[in-house]
Amino acid sequence: MDYSFETGVYRPPSEGGSSSLLLRVTRNCPWNNCTFCGMYKGKRFSKRPPDEVKGDIDAIAGIARSLGAIPSDEPSIAPGKKTVESLLKEIPSLGSSIGLGMVLEWIHSGMKTAFLQDANSLIIETDELVEILLYLRKTFSSIERVTSYARARTLSKKSLEHLKAVKRAGLDRLHVGLETGDPELLKAVRKGVSHEDQVLAGTKAKEAGFQLSEYWMPGLGGKRFTKQHAENTAKALNIINPHYIRSRPFFPHPGTPLYLAVQKGEWPLLSPLEQLLELKEMIGHLQVTSKVCFDHAGNYWPGFKGRPVFKHSYEGYQFPEKKDHVLGLIEEGISVQKQIPSGPPPWLAR
């Protein structure tokens, strides 16, 4: 039995929280041009043939069967016969596989969720994606939710009919990096997608029946774009009205073009106080029924008594019911920041 399979590095934090199986259907990012992003820099994009991905599913199923986590038809594999130790003794190379720990954690947590890697699984041909999804669902009947990253540009170009076919085959949730709804800032950071495409992608994904998480990046435009970033991001999100709005504050990553621009003083960053004022502006304009989440350590602003302003929950705050509450939390952060006249951004303060 071949137990080898491939795993990528990245997945949304919420998929880590639910111990998702990471199944790599493409490698890296087909766009790879956003000036703020260092995730796949220097790495070539490629699609994986469905048979190769199905081979990975078989390998993972083989591990699950050997450990008795799923039933086996093979008489040589009695359920629960092997332990992780005996499996490692049999195939020592498994021990050096970065994916083994992930698979063991997934099995331990009940094999309920899976995440398709890497940056844009929707780019593969619809019939191939459908084939992979059906095979995954058939192999692991315990799976309740399958999710993936998707580029808005790709989503906007896919037909509704194709998106519905992918949804029917078993992909439930899409994670889309909106970053900003501001047309000028989208161009400046080379996101490769227009405001209109972002909106079309989001509304189409919802119409196809996907649960939709949109990620935005407070502080991305620095001092120059802050007002239009806040206003136009809210404008786009108000039309899309995704199920989740997730905040990922901008952090200049070494090795990226935007990091260099910051270093050279060409991209003046917001102070923590200005970040909160931008948040206040964006949240103030939001008219959605989404869950607004600050589920990442980058959302750190101290409140009273030094406790974080926001909870880092994956389910966040239900809008519009909690909108005033969130605005109140932002005010708390603002009043704390006003007592600290100037300081480093939150990611340096920790």
Binding residues for ligand SF4, per CB under 6 A? 29, 31-34, 37, 39-40, 119, 151, 177
Q: 137-156 as b/e, with b when 16 or more CB fall inside 10 Å?
A: eebbeebebbbbbbbbbbbb
User: Cβ 186 to ligand SF4, closest distance in Å?
Assistant: 11
Distance CA 225, CA 218 (A): 11
User: Cβ 119 to ligand SF4, closest distance in Å?
Assistant: 4
Cα separation values, 133 from 33, 51, 109, 140, 145, Å:
28, 12, 21, 11, 11
The residues that bridge with 211 in the sheet, in sequence order, are 173
Helices 50-66, 98-108: crossing angle, 10 deg rounding: 60
Distance CA 130, CA 121 (A): 11
Nearer to ligand SF4, 57 or 152 (CB): 152
User: Cβ 127 to ligand SF4, closest distance in Å?
Assistant: 24
User: Cβ 30 to ligand SF4, closest distance in Å?
Assistant: 8
User: Cβ 37 to ligand SF4, closest distance in Å?
Assistant: 3
Nearer to ligand SF4, 65 or 153 (CB): 153
Distance CA 232, CA 213 (A): 18
Nearer to ligand SF4, 1 or 39 (CB): 39
User: Cβ 176 to ligand SF4, closest distance in Å?
Assistant: 9
DSSP secondary structure of 54-84:
HHHHHHHHHHHHHTTSS--S-TTS-TT---H
HSE-up of residue 323 (Cα within 13 Å, Cβ side): 15
Nearer to ligand SF4, 29 or 124 (CB): 29
Distance CA 259, CA 247 (A): 20
User: Cβ 8 to ligand SF4, closest distance in Å?
Assistant: 11
Nearer to ligand SF4, 39 or 239 (CB): 39
Q: Is the dihedral of CA 282, 283, 284, 290 positive or negative?
A: positive
Which residue in 321, 314, 277, 319 sits closest to 293, CA to CA?
314
- The contacts of residue 285 (CB under 8 Å, 6+ apart) are 230, 231, 234, 235, 238
Nearer to ligand SF4, 119 or 336 (CB): 119
Token reading at 236: 């786009």
- Strand, coil or helix: 115: strand
Nearer to ligand SF4, 31 or 210 (CB): 31
Q: Are 294 and 305 in contact (CB under 8 A)?
A: no
Q: 271-282 as b/e, with b when 16 or more CB fall inside 10 Å?
A: bbbbbbbbbbbb
Nearer to ligand SF4, 97 or 120 (CB): 120
Nearer to ligand SF4, 217 or 293 (CB): 217
User: Cβ 118 to ligand SF4, closest distance in Å?
Assistant: 8
User: Cβ 274 to ligand SF4, closest distance in Å?
Assistant: 23
